[in-house]
């Protein structure tokens, strides 16, 4: 994939891979900026369920506009290969950042607050991330936190894809509904401060 062009995106670097796709850094040759491309592997190109999940990820991300959530620019296809065009976020993941030592308390508090604010936004829109972990959280060189990879995200009440109750989100819709008003703090923000 390196060196290839998808649409007007020149692939320059592989950033990672997971169950729902491979992620590459690419150059948007029209707008002269770096983006991240999440590509559905070719072996899943004809898998209707995988394609539906990929499209659902794009639709859920498109509902979220928050400074601590990696944004989406589009859902594209090139030669039958579907891919998401995502905001490129420089820096290390939280997993990388804490490999050798924990974060200093002030940095940990700042990161936890930003993560909680991102999740508050998602929950307010009825979206559960379902894969929130240090590897899916980036910290930019300026210290801004970005929550990434909504590939396993699910909207409350969306039971079309998974009927297995053992794979339901940790927080139920009933546990979080009604808590997200403009005057109340999100439960996840309170929990984030308790983790420290």
Q: Are residues 72 and 96 in the same domain?
A: no
Least confident of 70-79, 113-122, 138-147, 174-183: 174-183
Residue that terminates a domain, selected from 33, 59, 87? 87
pLDDT in tens, 2-20: 889 999 999 999 998 876 7
pLDDT score for 90: 96
131 counts as catalytic: yes
Which of the listed residues 87, 120, 150 is the one where a domain comes to its end?
87
CATH number (domain holding residue 46): 3.30.200.20
Q: Looking at the structure, do residues 191 and 100 belong to the same domain, yes or no? A: yes
| Cα dist from 67 to 11, 45, 70, 89, 171, whole Å | 25, 32, 8, 11, 23
Helix (H) or strand (E) holding 17: strand 9-18
Choose, from 131, 149, 158, 159, the residue flagged as catalytic: 131
Question: Average model confidence (pLDDT) for the chain?
Answer: 82
At 195, the pLDDT band (50, 70, 90 cuts) reads: very low
Query: How far is the C-alpha of 19 from the C-alpha of 59, rounded, in Å?
Result: 19
Q: Are residues 75 and 156 in the same domain?
A: no
Domain stops at, among 31, 59, 87: 87
Q: Are residues 99 and 189 in the same domain?
A: yes
- Same domain, yes or no: 141 and 181: yes
One domain for residues 126 and 144: yes
CATH of the domain at 185: 1.10.510.10
- Are residues 47 and 106 both part of a single domain? no
- Give per-residue pLDDT as tens, 23-33: 999 999 999 99
Q: Shortest CA distance to 179 belongs to which of 128, 123, 139, 131?
A: 123
Tracing tokens 């989100």 back to the chain, one arrives at 169
99 and 188 co-located in one domain:
yes
Q: Are residues 56 and 140 in the same domain?
A: no
Residues 50 and 141 in one domain: no
CA separation for the pair 77, 6 (Å, rounded): 8
Q: How confident is the model at residue 172 (pLDDT cuts 50, 70, 90)?
A: very low
Q: Which domain holds residue 81?
A: 5-87
**Are residues 147 and 177 both part of a single domain?**
yes
| pLDDT-above-90 percentage for the chain | 55
| DSSP summary character for residue 69 | B
d(CA 51, CA 40): 8
Q: How many domains does the chain have?
A: 2
What is the per-residue pLDDT for 33?
97
- pLDDT of 65-121, one tens digit each? 999 999 999 999 988 888 999 999 999 999 999 999 999 999 999 999 999 999 999
Whether 97 and 82 map to the same domain: the answer is no
* CA atoms of 2 and 187, how far apart (whole Å): 42
């Amino acid at each position: 994939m390196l060196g290839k062009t998808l649409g007007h995106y020149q692939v320059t670097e592989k950033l990672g891979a997971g169950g729902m796709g491979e992620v590459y850094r690419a150059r948007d040759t029209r707008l002269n900026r770096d983006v991240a491309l999440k590509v559905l592997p070719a072996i899943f190109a004809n898998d209707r369920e995988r394609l539906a999940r990929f499209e659902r990820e794009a639709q859920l991300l498109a509902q979220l506009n928050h400074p601590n959530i990696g944004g989406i620019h589009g859902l594209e296809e090139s030669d039958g290969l579907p891919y998401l065009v995502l905001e490129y976020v420089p820096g290390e993941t939280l997993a990388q950042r804490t490999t050798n030592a924990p974060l200093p308390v002030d940095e940990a508090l700042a990161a936890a607050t930003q993560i909680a604010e991102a999740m508050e936004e998602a929950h307010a829109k009825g979206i559960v991330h379902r894969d929130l972990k240090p590897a899916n959280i980036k910290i930019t060189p300026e210290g801004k936190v970005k929550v990434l990879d909504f590939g396993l995200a699910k909207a409350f009440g969306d039971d079309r894809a998974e009927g297995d109750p053992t794979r339901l989100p940790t927080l139920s819709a009933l546990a979080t509904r009604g808590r997200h008003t403009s005057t109340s703090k999100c439960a996840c923000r309170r929990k984030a401060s308790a983790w420290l």
